[in-house]
Structure 1
Amino acid sequence: MSKTFDRYASLVFMALGVAFLVGSLQIASATYGAEVGPDIFPMALGAVMILLSIRLFYGTFRSSQTEETEKSPLHLKRFFILLAASVLYVICLEIIGYLLATFLFLVIGFQGMQKGKWLTTLLVAAGFSGGIYYLFVEVMKGTLPGFPTWLGG
């Protein structure tokens, strides 16, 4: 990508991160029976987006590479695969539960970005979705949609 594009993208992502932070302040801080409220994730996401956008903005000035005159090809197919997977993830999260929805989203996302390495994809997707579920529900005493009732959940 070009430095100019990266600078503008970092500013857009910083504004989005600020919007996440401001929006998370308007969410209730705790739910019944949970020690971690629904405001924690958007707040953390906003903070991470702001930090990463600052890093990207700083990196555009620090880089000694000249702007590329040659355009890199757009990967529209990958973009639309990830966009569709994200929309389906949001739609299916409550229906099929966090574990299954996140696992399927990660498998589709990993394979959309780089085909092959199925065993690695399946292991990482299962480990990540299971690990985050365990940390959030068991360790932090939060709530996430489990398995649907038709799967015994």
Structure 2
Amino acid sequence: MSKTFDRVAALTFLAIGVLFMIESLQISKSTYGSVVGPNVFPFLLGLILVVLSIKLLFETIGYPSTRGEKQRLQYKKFWMIFISAIFYAILLEPIGYVITTFLFLIIGFQTVEKGSIWKSIVIAACFSFGVYGLYVKMLQGTLPSWPIWLK
């Protein structure tokens, strides 16, 4: 990537992460029937975004200068993931967390790097079931459940 683009992206995501963390403190601390409040997940996502943004900022220091080089933008991949994210948000409640996350991750993995479909399936399944199990079963939080026809 370009040094300038990565620095701007890192600073933008750093600001968004800090905003997530600050705004998550405005959300109530607990909900009925849940040990983990709705403020925990956005705060942790904001924290992860801040840490990764700082890491990217430090990595750009070692980048070689790329003056005059133009890189081809990958619009097709961007739109595939963007449209997938919109469908993910629309289908999260009706279909449930595990299935929509699984499908979104497979589409994302295959969009970024074609091939090794079985590796994508295994990683997407482990992540979907792992997060669901950790958050819902262990921490007793709430996520959109399975569709009615699967219960």
**Fold equivalence (TM over 0.5):** yes
Structural mapping, 1:1-153, within 5 Å: 1-61=1-61, 63=62, 65-152=64-151
Paired residues of 1:35 and 1:140 also in contact (CA < 8 A): yes
TM-aligned CA deviation for residue 85 of structure 1: 0.7
Number of equivalenced pairs: 151
Contact 1:2 1:68 in 2 (8 A): no
Structure 1 residue 59: Cα displacement: 2.2
| Gaps in structure 1 of 5+ consecutive residues | none
Q: Distance in 2 between matches of 1:102 and 1:84?
A: 14
Q: Distance in 2 between matches of 1:126 and 1:11?
A: 32
Shift of 1:13: 0.9
Deviation at 1:75, TM superposition (A): 0.8
In structure 1, C-alpha distance between the alignment counterparts of 2:150 and 2:72, rounded to whole Å: 43
Alignment partners' CA distance in 1, 2:137 and 2:29: 19
User: What percentage of aligned pairs have identical amino acids?
Assistant: 47
Instruction: Give secondary structure in 1 for the equivalent of 2:38.
Output: coil
SS of 1:144's equivalent in the other structure is coil
Contact 2:3 / 2:63 at 8 angstroms: preserved in 1? no
Structure 2 residue identity aligned to 1:17: G
Structure 1 residue identity aligned to 2:149: W
Query: Conserved in 2, the CA contact under 8 Å of 1:13 and 1:53?
Result: yes
Give the CA deviation at 1:64. Answer: 5.2
Judge conservation of contact 2:110–2:120 (CA < 8 Å) in 1: yes
AA at the equivalent of 1:118: I
Runs of 4+ in 1 over 4 A off after TM superposition: none
* TM-score, structure 1 normalization: 0.92
Unaligned 5+ residue runs, structure 2? none
Q: CA RMSD in A?
A: 1.3
Say whether the 8 Å CA contact 1:14–1:49 is kept in structure 2. Answer: yes
